[in-house]
Amino acid sequence: MPRDIPVGNGSLLITFDDDYRVRDLYYPCVGQPNHTQGHVQRFGVWADGEFAWIEDKTWTRELRYKADTLVTEVRLISKKLGLEIICNDAVDQTEPIYFRKSVVRDLSGKDRDVRLFFHYDLSIGGNPVGDTANYDPTTSGVVFYKDGFYFIVNACDQHKCGLDHWAIGSKRVGGAEGTWRDAEDGHLGRNTIAQGSVDATIGYNLHVPAGGEAYVTNWFACGRSYDDVKALNRRIWDTGPERMISRTEAYWKLWARKEEIDTTTLPEPVTDLFYRSALLVRTQIDNEGAIIAANDSDIAQFGGDHYSYCWPRDGALVAYSLILTGQSELSRNFFRFCSRVIGDEGYFLHKYNPSGTLASSWHPWTLDGRKVLPIQQDETALTLWALRQHFETYRDVEFVKSVYDALVTKPADWMVDYRDANGLPQQSWDLWEERRGVHTFTVASTIGALKAASSFARDFGEPDRAAIYADAAERMQRAWIKHFWSETEGRFARRAVPEEDGTYRLDMTADAANFAHFAIAGIDPTDPMIASDMTKTRELLSVRTEIGGVARYQKDYYHQVETEKTDIVPGNPWVICTLWQAQHIIARATTKDDLQEAMDLINWCTYRTLPSGVLAEQFHPYSGDPISVSPLTWSHATVMIAVSEYLNKLAEIEGKDHATPKPIFAGLAQG
């Protein structure tokens, strides 16, 4: 189920499903730990003797954000109850506090007795064993705690603060469903404490005049001690929760529009998606630098794992989107994170937890009894490449000096050493993490990284190093063209597997990831071989249904929908793969008319968003429904990249720079 309208501040992240139920609660890192384990946190309404949970079919729901903010504007209507509720959700800009303001409006023309109920089903620290929940008379709220994690739930209306109802009890133990069932008659039992696998439901009374409205704002504050959450609760009372929501809304408007990017040439939906993508990307970035792939815990149902990790590959490309849009502190923080976690040997392992520890992996350390490196070389290469893009934009010499050894010289030296007799990278796993070999994407990323390292070494007064890296990149590029090009197919192989005799066995499966040859390696996008490869790839990977878009590769098995008519549906359409084609069109464009086809592909993304602007990883090729995780950070980052490149190329064509006030390079192709 998609995770719609996430709200967060880099230390606390709240996600919702499309029924407007909170599903994930991450603190103190974005992505770690999940204090709900994905379990439903319910929201119910009792009015004049009738009750309905918000997921009930009697409700209509519109889940959106206020423009250019991370404050939601959710509209809920129940004809059965004769009520409309407008909810504004926000995580405070600074403090780990989640707010929900609920404005209840009567639609029946009579005075109403309304009670709102909020259910909390926590598994503190990621498991439900040993939790405690208790009613706290000092704050008139309910406190949860375990093992150095403390949470308080409370509420205020325009007249008073504190809870009107509460129930604390057991869930999923001995047949107990949970305290949420107690709310359905409009009353809660006021049990004051429970331990073990516990939950709590709180309630609030509202008198809603005929045709009028009333509101309540409830909150969930996080800390590492009881004193922490008690102090936050007092701060909310003293400041006022509505004021804290308002200042958070103002902050995000400032954040989203801090750079004077001229988007007047863009269709309005594209402009909206551009800014919405930047905000959504921010929700997935931890304040300590980790860029998380996605925080949709439903994916764990399929493989027992999730996407709440930092892959250096995803992170580097997301960092590039931040560089293009002027978010220099966020990209800088990512590189600081990378410098902390990279190994002494100069390469990254598979993925990392947001805390910086090594995450789960399926890359083996031995194959056929032989020791192998459990790596995707593109992850190391892309991080170095992205660092160069950051430096060329911001020229922050002092910062680069601090990560120069960890992220430039050690990785570049390792990449020079980790080559075969032809000068190509030795085998590693591909960016899709499915097959081992020598991959076009990896080769292109390594070429781009070695070029970047050569430029860094020259800038930092190391001409010998610069020459070594430049020579390695040039030799690798020649070897790739020689060994990967198929004259018969008119395109490059996606993978070459070394044979015992020193030759390569080519895998000619069309793969959208080949775009890296122009985008990362910096090979001329108008080169006939590059142009032919991109054209043939698009022909083979276009989804020929009403939904459209571009698949990852031929007969892609991941969440595969179509298994027979693979000539029509080679795989499910992905946002990133569709936009990679747009990037090539932009890179080779010389007139405004040349850019129209790229805009058509960017527009395709606007058609695929949820009403809130959220994009999934991939989509059903016949229905267009989101598939896999949502939102995918990489999807939104690629929107930012493609739109930035479009604006930069348009400025270049028109002979003016109206894309950004910073000296930005025109697209990924520049090396």
Phi, psi values for residue 593, rounded to 5°: -60, -35
Query: Is the same domain home to 495 and 570?
Result: no
Transcribe 202-216 into DSSP letters: EEEEEEE-TT-EEEE
Residues 276 and 309 in one domain: no
pLDDT digits (tens, 9 = 90+) for 142-181: 999 999 999 999 999 988 999 999 999 999 888 788 999 9
Domain end among 460, 483, 508: 508
Would the pLDDT of 16 be above 80?
Answer: yes
Q: Residue 332 is part of a domain; what is its CATH number?
A: 1.50.10.10
How many angstroms separate the CA atoms of 353 and 351, rounded? 7
Alpha helix stretches (DSSP H) within 344-433: 377-394, 397-404, 410-417
Q: Residue type at 394? A: Y
Q: Which of 490, 508, 526 is the last residue of a domain?
A: 508
Helix (H, G, I), strand (E, B) or coil at 381: helix
* DSSP state string for 655-668: TS--S-SS---SST
211 and 80 within one domain: yes
In a domain, 148, yes or no: yes
Q: Are residues 132 and 266 in the same domain?
A: no
Pair 274, 310 in one domain = no
Helix, strand or coil, per DSSP, at residue 69: coil
Asked, as a colleague might, if the bond just before 33 is cis with ω within 30 of 0, I would say yes
Q: In the chain, how many domains are there?
A: 3
Rounded to two decimals, what is the model's pTM? Answer: 0.96
Residue 302, pLDDT score: 61
Mark whether 134 and 53 lie in a shared domain: yes
Mark whether 554 and 644 lie in a shared domain: yes
Please report whether residue 528 resides in a domain. Answer: no
Say yes or no: 597 and 483 in one domain: no
In a domain, 298, yes or no: no
Is 536 inside any structural domain?
no
Of 384, 476, 471, the residue nearest 438 (C-alpha): 476
The answer to whether residues 460 and 323 belong to one domain is: yes
How much is the pLDDT for 667? 36
Q: Is residue 175 part of a domain?
A: yes
What is residue 54's three-state secondary structure? coil
Element (H, E) at 82: none
Amino acid 305: pLDDT: 86
Contact criterion met (CB below 8 Å) for 609 and 615: yes
Q: How confident is the model at residue 668 (pLDDT cuts 50, 70, 90)?
A: very low
Residues 653, 654, 659, 663: is their CA dihedral positive or negative? positive
Q: Which two tokens stand for residue 643?
A: 């739109």
Counting beta carbons within 10 angstroms of the beta carbon of residue 280, is it exposed (0 to 12), middle (13 to 18) or buried (19 or more)? buried
Residues 172 and 132 in one domain: yes
Q: Quick one: 125 and 97 in the same domain?
A: yes
Question: Are the C-beta atoms of residues 117 and 45 closer than 8 Å to each other?
Answer: yes
Which residues constitute the domain of residue 484?
A: 303-508
Q: How large is the average pLDDT for residues 227-241?
A: 97
Give the pLDDT of residue 298.
Answer: 82
The verdict on residue 47 lying in a domain is yes
User: The CATH number of the domain where 16 resides is what?
Assistant: 2.70.98.10
What are 403-459's pLDDT values in tens digits?
999 999 999 999 999 999 999 999 999 999 999 999 999 999 999 999 999 999 999
What would the pLDDT profile of 169-220 be if each residue is shown by its tens digit? 999 888 788 999 999 999 999 999 999 999 999 999 999 999 999 999 999 9
Residue 488 lies in a domain: yes
Verify that 263 and 157 share a domain, yes or no.
Answer: no
Answer yes or no: is 517 within a domain. Answer: no
pLDDT digits (tens, 9 = 90+) for 442-457: 999 999 999 999 999 9
In this prediction, residue 666 carries a pLDDT of 35
Q: What percent of the chain has pLDDT over 90?
A: 93
Tokens found for residue 25: 């609660």
Is residue 433 classed as helix, strand or coil in its secondary structure? coil
